Structure 1
Amino acid sequence: VLDFADERSVVQTRFATTALTLLRAHLGLHTEEVVADARTALSAPLPEGLVGCTQFTFLGRGWTVGLANEAGLKMREACLAWTEAYPAMEYRHGPISVTTRGTATWMLGEAPEGLAAQVRETGARWIPGGLDPLAELVRV
């Protein structure tokens, strides 16, 4: 039991991160760097300008596509915001067309080459996944 992380809302945010952390530890993929990134996610300020955004799009590649979906769901439930989630390459070839000023596009993991520039060209805010992808989910 984590007394400091008591869930008091309908939105349950810690199950997905706990289950994925346990899986990664079991597979030997849970490192001190991941722990440090999670601490950073909890203590660092959010990217500038998010409060003014009206649409949030979360992108992933490989196993982080599931994290992108989870991020979109949690944001939608907690903030009643318009959220979407896509595999990064699928987004590039279609949904990017509805991306405009007021959209935050948040990458969980490494972005495909050139995608950040394409998003910025739409006027949207690009948020690169600078931390471990699971820590990025914690930031959301």
Structure 2
Amino acid sequence: MFLEQCICIILVSGNLCTLTLFSDLPQAAGWLPLWQLLISVTAVFNSVQNFVTLKLTRKIYPQAAVTGLQARTFAVWTLTSAVVRAYAAYNINEKHVYDLTLFTYLIAFGHFSSELLIFRTATINPGLISPVIVSTTSLVWMISQYDFYVKSS
């Protein structure tokens, strides 16, 4: 069924019909729900990458620290975060969902920051900067929009 929804042009009764994917996007006001969906989809791809290869993970952490087990564990965490964030994209006005999603970014920020500043197992590079930017941007955005999405509903 999902593939049917993704097809943009179909032939129905001999007539050409155009379908849009917009009906399946989050319907809540503002850009935050769409951001949650985008980050969720990105996280799914990152999870797959961590299950399949160590190449990109080694761009964040030292070679010796990156093992198959570590990468797969990271993939499971990332996939869990992706599910929570996707759920938030479609249920952004539910306080518990919003709060859990906010915590996924806080945990991610804490992880990457501690690996850089405390444990010194990560160095400043594009592989580290990207999740730090996403987590801090998302945290600031979600905290600043809390009243709009949660308290107004």
Relative to the length of structure 2, the TM-score reads 0.28
Between structure 1 and structure 2, the one with the greater Rg is 2
Relative to the length of structure 1, the TM-score reads 0.30
Of structures 1 and 2, the one scoring higher in RCO (CA 8 A, sep 6+) is: 1
Q: Which structure's residues are more often helix, by fraction?
A: 2
Q: Which structure's residues are more often strand, by fraction?
A: 1
